[in-house]
Structure 1
């Protein structure tokens, strides 16, 4: 059973083609020396996420609601590691 009706199926290994190549932005929290880097591409109706450490990184695609829920959870500290 699908969680979301009407979702567009995509292949993470080819999903990069769904996004403007110039639209990728590195996370402000990424390490300046190229270490832990995540890039996002905000396109109307969807968000792409990839790992810049991997040359052929798969691209994970989220709709705007999923992305907003994730960002809200991050800001609330739901993914913080224990001290």
Structure 2
């Protein structure tokens, strides 16, 4: 389980779409900031890193 103190706001958070992310050596967790007590999604760290890289690569410059 991910400690709630380890969550941080995602750099992709927008005013209406707030997401928090927590990283550990084995996985990354994602949750909705407005509904912290609801489900948390867990992804293997490598898959999450690949997802973030793809977002950064598709960002307009």
TM-score (norm 1): 0.61
Q: 1:36 maps to what in 2?
A: 17
Structure 1 runs not aligned, ≥5 long: 1-17
TM-score (norm 2): 0.79
1:60 to 34, 41, 53: 41
RMSD in angstroms over aligned alpha carbons? Answer: 1.8
- Structure 1 residues 55 and 45: alpha-carbon distance in aligned structure 2, compared to 1, 3 A threshold: closer
Structure 2 runs not aligned, ≥5 long: none
Question: After TM superposition, which residue ranges in structure 1, 4 or more long, deviate above 3 angstroms?
Answer: none
Instruction: Say how many residue pairs are matched.
Output: 59
Larger Rg: 1
